[in-house]
């Protein structure tokens, strides 16, 4: 589902290439590669991240940044099916029967919950441990988003700094008028990088991180409710009803008319 | 009622054309059409939407974006009249008599509520199902608004990026001074597109989406109250009083002086 | 009291004229009138308002925009005097005696409240009807302020769009170097209009609308409390004490030392 | 203690003068005095304040703006000493003994509270009157801060408007190329004024107003608690303990180790 | 752990130097040192801090600003180990036995808590004193962050003011065209300084201050809970369980599976 992130990035850069093709210039994309500006903008972005956040958060960043590209979001309806089938098993053969099937559970958070339930942990402790885990994960997501936002906020400034450096060097040495144009062109590339870093990457990526995080927390709430319902020995049909409440209507198993 | 959106857009673009006419130049509107800038600004906007939001939300976007143009907002007072006449029928001939008239109900949300009531669903379940539906719809609206806002926020940056690309290409190749002016003119068209996309389209459209969504949720609250009152067998006059509370004073059936 | 709005607007435009006088140029104010820029900025502002808000809100706008210019804000202390004298009358001759004096009441909101009380409406219904009225009015004020803010937010962009249009036309046609200066001057007038629309008109007007609205709601709260106290047959001295609580200390009838 | 405001303003303008000295130009500070730009920026700022706020608030502004320059903030610890010594007197000789000493009380708010207590006002009325007074003062502070913020927000725009006026006049009349440089220099002075007004004066002054207001309200809370404790006949040691809770630890009479 | 702040600052300035090296100009870093611009930007920043905040807060600033560079953040897990070992001692030899070990306690906040407990202070007083201390510290942190943010907000404006001063001086004296380029280069250095001050220093430093402050408050919450648990004579294993709740899961002593 997360192919949109990659398609979006490709589309953004393809649009830039399209400008060159449509513009009928002989210029190639290489015109827009300027190592000093790259160094300034990406060095500055890294500097800002290092100054603004402790190393522990920066380490989390990479594992979280993979998400908008790689992770396949758990479909809530599949998850509910799995929890309902676990509830059926628990209802039929007892809670301990789940232990034999625990290794088949794909989602590690469901597996943790089932394990806790099988071990006879008291329900309120199960809930506290699982909520704690969810809260810790939410904090890591918020922190990753904050880093992306800080870089997005300062990125254009480092682009402008690269441009200022270029202009200052150029203006200090105007002897050869022929080089003014190309020097200014190169100076402006810094501004271009800063604008792309912020507007094509950081701002929309922060938005998707925030969405994915919200979605994941919703899914985990479903799991917590499901595990507690299984532990309580709820009827599988009741389990499904309870969990369906979290879904948008069109994804629910039972249409309205029969729900009454 | 939503003709204002279309009139506004026409007025915005007509003002631009008027500038040309009043400006007494021979330039035609074609001067302001620049395919590379169009590609950059609209490609960038699409890229930002794809990176920032998952495909499910983007699909919702189009059905919601039609609203400010096409949808006719349910007049709350008409809706109240319909609910009151349903209440009269239920009072006279019993709840089940509504089933025969259900197919005449224009609004699908009213129809859903009446169907649930006729089916004998318990009132608290009716309320939960209908509120759930309203909440899901509110979420879709909020998400559509977020997409429009993100594009409005990044749009000017992509306009500036188009302009930067144009300037960089021009400055790198200054041999023919005669082309400098026209090249700069074309470069500036990108900034123009970005400013129009954000200020004429995204920012005001987001405002109207937010208004329409708020209005629609109000209307649905009226429906929920009405259906529950009908199910409770309330006197039609009481139903009207309860629902009138939601209306601004001038739209109410009963003037104040007699309300006491 | 609202003369400040008009004085402020005059001062703002007088400052601009003063710049011309002090600048010792032969230029007249006519230099700063540019019909195309006027069309673009005010056409754009109107377009934004139409796209962003439904027609019903736009109709309210004009009646509310008069306020910062025309309306004389009810002095809370005069209003309290009137309510206290009504309380005295009600105490002496009974509630019905107020009916004879109702036509003398200048403020329609006080008149509505007295009418409701005289009609024997139950106090909680009086409170609900009057609060409803206040809430509807507060909503209209908030919406008018939102329109002014939206125009203030997009106004500078339309000024810039007017300037961009001028620059693009000029740069596309550089044959006669003598016209470059005047063309740029005219292009910049758009930016000037946008800046004035936002900073001299919309932003401060939005601030005053918000102040007037807040003040008016305070006054209406006093009226509601007063009417309810009159209806409850409170001693006029108690009525004054209750209402004085809403006033800033220096406007109160009774100085502190005697208040105990 | 408020000398920092004056030192800061002097430092800001001294830095500007230092730029001239270090810059080794023959230019004097007079280069930076441009009456038309002064008129535009300060006239515009006054216009914005008049349009945005009613006359009553503008009158308050001046008495509140003196604070960051003149007022000596009541030291909370001195105030607590005074309240404790009043508590001792009341404990020893009765509440009425305070009347004789009331004229010695420097702070009018303490005097008001003691007067109310001596007059036998009921404690809840004392609290309401004093809180009302504090609330009215807090409102005046918030309003003064809003005016400063509005001017700080619109100030740079009026600087830009002054510059635009200068540029438009210059560009419309380019006959003498020798005057272009000086004309542009003068035009830019407007932008300079706007930036100074906002960044050197309004924004930091608003920050200090907000701090002073917060501090003053804290001090008044201490007074209210103290007066109520005196009126309740609390032991002076208990009065001190109660009031010390409001102080940052290092200013307290009793170090921690003995507090237990 | 806070080496990231220093590495980030070095990286930021190294990127600027790298731009010069990669740019193959003969310009040295000295090109970018301009005393007047330095004076304007840092004098302006100091002025803003003095105008915006009282001297007491400015004094706190320096002790707090050291933190992102020097302070080693207490590892929560080490602290928990120390509290648990104190709990063991208290359990074995009684609360008073802690007094002998108090001088070994590295963290002064833990020492304060233990001292209060040993002195027989009532638990609610211990909690109030310690929370008060934490609150006072949180306030100092918030204030330090506010100063950094204000400087970060106004910094770019003082950079622009330095540039405006340079441009105005240059434009007023255009006789020698050869000096225009270098003069503009110098003028732009002010903008460069302002951008660096805000984006490389103030904005990310404010972010880290906010993080460190949040982390420190968390650590102090752990200490308060620990001291109260020790005072209550809790079993050391229970003390660890209570405190582990504050840690992210991976840092806890006991893995989940055994926690039940």
Closest CA to E49 of E138, E146, E168: E146
Residue owning tokens 């969405």: A211
SS3 category, D103: coil
Q: How far apart are the first and last CA of chain C?
A: 34
Looking at per-residue confidence, does A136 or B24 come out higher?
A136
Closest CA to A167 of A21, A36, A25, A76: A36
Alpha-helical segments (H) within B174-250: 180-196, 203-231, 236-244
**pLDDT tens-digit map of E151-172:** 999 999 999 999 999 999 888 8
The verdict on D259 touching C (C-beta cutoff 8 Å) is no
Please list, in sequence order, all residues whose beta carbon lies within 8 angstroms of the beta carbon of residue B201, skipping any fewer than 6 positions away: B9, B152, C51
Nearest by CB to D161, from C23, C195, C208: name it. Answer: C195
Residue A1 CB neighbour total at 10 angstroms? 12
Euclidean distance between CA atoms E146 and B169, whole angstroms: 43
Checking if the pLDDT of E174 tops 50, the result is: yes
Q: Which chains form contacts with chain D, at 3 or more CB pairs under 8 Å?
A: C, E
Q: What is the mean pLDDT of residues C62-76?
A: 75
Closest CA to C62 of C152, C147, C154, C150: C147
At how many degrees (to 10) do helices C123-171 and C35-52 cross? Answer: 140
Contact E173, D25 (CB under 8 A): yes
The pLDDT assigned to A73 comes to 62
Euclidean distance between CA atoms E116 and A251, whole angstroms: 58
Please list, in sequence order, all residues whose beta carbon lies within 8 angstroms of the beta carbon of residue A67, skipping any fewer than 6 positions away: A2, A209, A212
Q: What is the mean pLDDT of residues B152-165?
A: 95
Checking if the pLDDT of A184 tops 80, the result is: yes
The pLDDT assigned to D258 comes to 36
Residue E23 CB neighbour total at 10 angstroms? 19
Q: Do the two chains D and C touch, given a threshold of 8 Å on CB pairs and at least 3 pairs?
A: yes
Token pair belonging to B150: 């993100």
**pLDDT tens-digit map of D164-189:** 999 998 888 777 777 888 888 889 99
The pLDDT assigned to B252 comes to 64
Q: What band does E10 get if pLDDT is binned at 50, 70 and 90?
A: very high
Taking CA–CA distances from C180, the nearest residue in chain B reads B181
Q: At residue B174, what are phi and psi to the nearest 5 degrees?
A: -95, 15
Give chain A's mean pLDDT.
85
Nearest by CB to D22, from E36, E150, E160: name it. Answer: E36
Q: What band does B253 get if pLDDT is binned at 50, 70 and 90?
A: low
For Cα atoms C144, C148, C153, give the angle at the middle one, nearest 5 degrees. 145
Looking at per-residue confidence, does E128 or B255 come out higher?
E128
Euclidean distance between CA atoms D245 and B183, whole angstroms: 70
Checking if the pLDDT of A225 tops 70, the result is: yes
Checking if the pLDDT of E149 tops 90, the result is: yes
The verdict on C43 touching B (C-beta cutoff 8 Å) is yes
For Cα atoms B14, B15, B17, give the angle at the middle one, nearest 5 degrees. 65
Integer-rounded Cα radius of gyration of chain D: 26
Looking at per-residue confidence, does B92 or E248 come out higher?
B92
pLDDT > 90: what percent of chain B? 33
Sign of CA dihedral E95, E100, E106, E112: positive
The pLDDT assigned to E252 comes to 64
**pLDDT tens-digit map of C80-138:** 988 999 999 998 888 888 888 877 888 888 988 998 888 888 898 888 888 888 888 88
Most confident of D45-59, D174-188, E55-69: D45-59
Taking CA–CA distances from D189, the nearest residue in chain E reads E168
Nearest by CB to B192, from C121, C128, C161: name it. Answer: C161
Please list, in sequence order, all residues whose beta carbon lies within 8 angstroms of the beta carbon of residue D38, skipping any fewer than 6 positions away: D193
The verdict on B53 touching A (C-beta cutoff 8 Å) is yes
Residue A211 CB neighbour total at 10 angstroms? 19
Q: What band does A215 get if pLDDT is binned at 50, 70 and 90?
A: confident
Taking CA–CA distances from C68, the nearest residue in chain D reads D51
- Is E54–D1 a contact, with Cβ atoms under 8 angstroms apart? yes
The pLDDT assigned to C257 comes to 39
Q: Which of residues 166-205 of B touch A (CB under 8 A)?
A: 166-174
Euclidean distance between CA atoms B239 and B248, whole angstroms: 17
Nearest by CB to A1, from B44, B55, B146: name it. Answer: B55
Euclidean distance between CA atoms B1 and B12, whole angstroms: 19
The pLDDT assigned to D207 comes to 92
Burial class, D220, CB count within 10 angstroms (exposed 0-12 / middle 13-18 / buried 19+): buried
Taking CA–CA distances from A153, the nearest residue in chain E reads E199
**pLDDT tens-digit map of B56-78:** 888 888 888 887 777 666 678 88
Please list, in sequence order, all residues whose beta carbon lies within 8 angstroms of the beta carbon of residue D60, skipping any fewer than 6 positions away: D140, D143, D144
Euclidean distance between CA atoms D192 and D32, whole angstroms: 9
The pLDDT assigned to B250 comes to 62
Q: What share of chain E is helix, strand, coil (3-state, %, to 5)?
A: 80, 0, 20
- Is A51–E248 a contact, with Cβ atoms under 8 angstroms apart? no
Taking CA–CA distances from B43, the nearest residue in chain A reads A15
What does the longest C-alpha to C-alpha distance in chain E come to? 89
3-state secondary structure chain C: CCHHHHHHHHHHHHHHHHHHHHCCCCCCHHHHCCHHHHHHHHHHHHHHHHHHCCHHHHHHHHHHHCCCCCCCCCCHHHHHHHHHHHHHHHHHHCCCHHHHHHCCCCCHHHHHHHHHHHCCCCHHHHHHHHHHHHHHHHHHHHHHHHHHHHHHHHHHHHHHHHHHHHHHHHHCCCCCHHHHHHHHHHHHHHHHHHHHHHHHHHHHHHHHHHHHHHHHHHHHHHHHHHHHHHHCCCCHHHHHHHHHCCCCHHHCCCCHHHCC
Q: Which of residues 61-90 of B touch A (CB under 8 A)?
A: none
DSSP E245: T
**pLDDT tens-digit map of A76-111:** 888 888 899 999 999 888 888 888 887 788 888 898
The pLDDT assigned to B24 comes to 67
Closest CA to E8 of E204, E239, E209: E204
Euclidean distance between CA atoms B205 and B143, whole angstroms: 14
Cα–chain center distance at B260: 38
The verdict on B11 touching A (C-beta cutoff 8 Å) is no
Residue C120 CB neighbour total at 10 angstroms? 10
Euclidean distance between CA atoms C161 and B196, whole angstroms: 8
- Is D249–E132 a contact, with Cβ atoms under 8 angstroms apart? yes
Checking if the pLDDT of D260 tops 50, the result is: no
Tell me the nearest-neighbour CA distance from E76 into chain A, angstroms: 13
Euclidean distance between CA atoms A181 and A170, whole angstroms: 10
Nearest by CB to D260, from E120, E146, E164: name it. Answer: E120
Checking if the pLDDT of E251 tops 70, the result is: no
**pLDDT tens-digit map of A43-81:** 999 999 999 998 888 888 888 888 777 766 667 888 888
The pLDDT assigned to B259 comes to 34
DSSP C132-144: HHHHHHHHHHHHH
The verdict on A35 touching E (C-beta cutoff 8 Å) is yes
Euclidean distance between CA atoms E4 and E70, whole angstroms: 11
Euclidean distance between CA atoms D22 and E36, whole angstroms: 6
Q: At residue D138, what are phi and psi to the nearest 5 degrees?
A: -60, -40
Most confident of B230-244, C158-172, D170-184, E104-118: C158-172
Give chain E's mean pLDDT.
85
Closest CA to C139 of C38, C196, C56: C56
Q: Give the containing element (helix H, strand E) for D227.
A: helix D203-231
Contact B260, C121 (CB under 8 A): yes
Checking if the pLDDT of D24 tops 80, the result is: no
Contact C239, C90 (CB under 8 A): no
Token pair belonging to A9: 């990035």
Contact E44, D199 (CB under 8 A): yes
Mutate to test the interface with C, among B2, B13, B14, B19 (most CBs of C within 10 A): B19
The verdict on B51 touching A (C-beta cutoff 8 Å) is yes
């Amino acid at each position: 589902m997360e192919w949109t992130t990659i398609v979006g990035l490709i589309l953004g850069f393809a649009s830039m290439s399209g400008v060159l093709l449509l513009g009928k210039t002989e210029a190639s994309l290489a015109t827009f590669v300027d190592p000093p500006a790259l160094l300034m903008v990406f060095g500055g972005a890294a500097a800002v991240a290092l100054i603004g956040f402790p190393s522990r958060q920066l380490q989390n960043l990479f594992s979280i940044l993979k998400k908008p590209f790689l992770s396949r979001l758990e479909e809530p309806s599949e998850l509910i099916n799995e929890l309902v089938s676990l509830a059926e098993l628990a209802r039929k053969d007892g809670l301990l029967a789940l232990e034999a099937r625990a290794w088949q559970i794909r989602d590690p958070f469901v597996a943790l919950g089932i394990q806790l339930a099988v071990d006879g942990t008291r329900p309120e402790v199960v809930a506290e441990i699982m909520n704690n885990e969810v809260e810790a994960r939410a904090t890591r997501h918020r922190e990753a988003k904050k880093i992306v936002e800080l870089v997005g906020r300062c990125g254009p400034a480092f682009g402008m700094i690269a441009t200022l450096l270029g202009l200052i060097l150029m203006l200090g040495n105007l002897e050869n008028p022929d080089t003014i144009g190309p020097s200014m062109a190169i100076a402006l590339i810094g501004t271009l990088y800063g604008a792309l870093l912020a507007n094509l990457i950081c701002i929309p990526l922060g938005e998707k991180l925030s969405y994915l995080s919200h979605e994941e927390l919703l899914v985990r709430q479903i799991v917590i409710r499901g595990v507690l319902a299984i532990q309580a020995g709820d009827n599988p049909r009741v389990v499904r009803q309870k969990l369906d409440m979290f879904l948008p209507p069109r994804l629910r198993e039972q249409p309205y008319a029969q729900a009454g």
